[in-house]
Chain A
Amino acid sequence: MTASIATSQAILVVGGGISGMTAALEAAECGKQVILAEKTPTLGGRTALLYRYFPKMCHPTCGLEINLRRLKGNRNVRVMTMTEVLAVTGRRGDYTVTLKVSPRYVTESCTGCGDCANAVSAEIDNPYEYGLAKTRAAYLPHAMAYPQRYVIDPSIVGTPEGEKAKAACKFGAVDLEMKEETVEIKVGAVIWATGWKPYDAAKIQPYGYDRFANVITSVEFERLADPHGPTGGKILRPSDGKEAKDIAFIQCAGSRDENHLRHCSRICCMASLKQTQYVREAWGDAGKSTVYYIDIRAIDRFEDFYQMVQKDATVSFVKSKVAKIVEDKESNPVLHGVDTEGYHRYATTHDLAVLAIGMEPEANGIKLPDDMLLDSSGFIEGCKGTAEDQGMFGAGAASSPLDVNRSVQSATAAALRAIKVIHKTARTEQV
Chain B
Amino acid sequence: MSNANVQAVARYQNDFLREVEERVEEGHMVKMCMQCGVCAGSCPFGPDWEHSPQKIFMMIRAGKRDEVLGSDSMFMCTSCYSCIVRCPRELPITHIMHGLANYAHRLGLAPKGQPTREFATLFWNNLVKKGRVNELTLTLGHYFTNGLVSGIKTALGMQRIGLGLFLAKRLNPMEIFGGHGVKDLKGFHAIVAKAKEIEDRKKGFTA
Contact B42 A321 (CB under 8 A): no
What is the bound-complex CA distance between A321 and B86, given in angstroms?
Answer: 11
Q: Contact check: which of A252, A258, A336 meets B41 at CB < 8 Å? A: A336
Chain B residues positioned under 8 Å from A259 (CB to CB)? 85-86, 88, 90
Contact B40 A338 (CB under 8 A): yes
Closest to A293 in B: B36
In the complex, whether A42 has a CB less than 8 A from a CB of chain B is no
Closest to A338 in B: B40
Which B residues, 43 to 69, have Cβ-Cβ distances below 8 Å to chain A? 46-47, 52, 54-55
In the complex, whether B89 has a CB less than 8 A from a CB of chain A is yes
Closest to A262 in B: B88
Contact A321 B40 (CB under 8 A): no
By size class, the interface of chain A is: 20 to 34
In the complex, whether B140 has a CB less than 8 A from a CB of chain A is no
In the complex, whether B38 has a CB less than 8 A from a CB of chain A is yes
Contact A321 B38 (CB under 8 A): yes
In the complex, what's the smallest C-beta–C-beta distance from B206 to chain A, in angstroms? 36
Contact B36 A294 (CB under 8 A): yes
Contact A323 B47 (CB under 8 A): no
Chain A residues positioned under 8 Å from B42 (CB to CB)? 206, 323-324
Stretch at the interface among A86-94, A176-184, A339-347, A376-384: A339-347
What is the bound-complex CA distance between A320 and B42, given in angstroms?
Answer: 12
A206 in contact with B86 given A337-B41, A343-B55, A345-B46 (CB within 8 Å)? yes
Q: Contact check: which of B38, B47, B90 meets A345 at CB < 8 Å? A: B47
Contact B88 A322 (CB under 8 A): no
User: Which of A206, A258, A260, A323 has the most chain B CB within a 10 Å cutoff?
Assistant: A323
Contact B86 A340 (CB under 8 A): no
Closest to A339 in B: B37
In the complex, what's the smallest C-beta–C-beta distance from B82 to chain A, in angstroms? 9
In the complex, whether B14 has a CB less than 8 A from a CB of chain A is no
In the complex, whether A312 has a CB less than 8 A from a CB of chain B is no
In the complex, what's the smallest C-beta–C-beta distance from B13 to chain A, in angstroms? 27
What is the bound-complex CA distance between A339 and B54, given in angstroms?
Answer: 10
Chain B residues positioned under 8 Å from A323 (CB to CB)? 37-38, 40-42, 86
A338 in contact with B41 given A343-B55, A345-B46 (CB within 8 Å)? yes
Contact A321 B37 (CB under 8 A): yes
Which A residues, 338 to 367, have Cβ-Cβ distances below 8 Å to chain B? 338-340, 343, 345
Contact B88 A256 (CB under 8 A): yes
Chain B residues positioned under 8 Å from A322 (CB to CB)? 41
In the complex, whether B7 has a CB less than 8 A from a CB of chain A is no
Contact B37 A337 (CB under 8 A): yes
**Chain A to chain B contacts (Cβ below 8 Å), 27 pairs:** A206-B86, A252-B36, A256-B34, A256-B88, A258-B90, A259-B85, A294-B35, A294-B36, A320-B37, A321-B37, A321-B41, A321-B88, A322-B41, A323-B38, A323-B40, A323-B86, A324-B42, A336-B41, A337-B38, A337-B40, A338-B52, A339-B37, A340-B54, A343-B40, A343-B54, A343-B55, A345-B46
Top 3 A-B pairs, shortest CB-CB distance = A323-B41, A321-B36, A257-B88
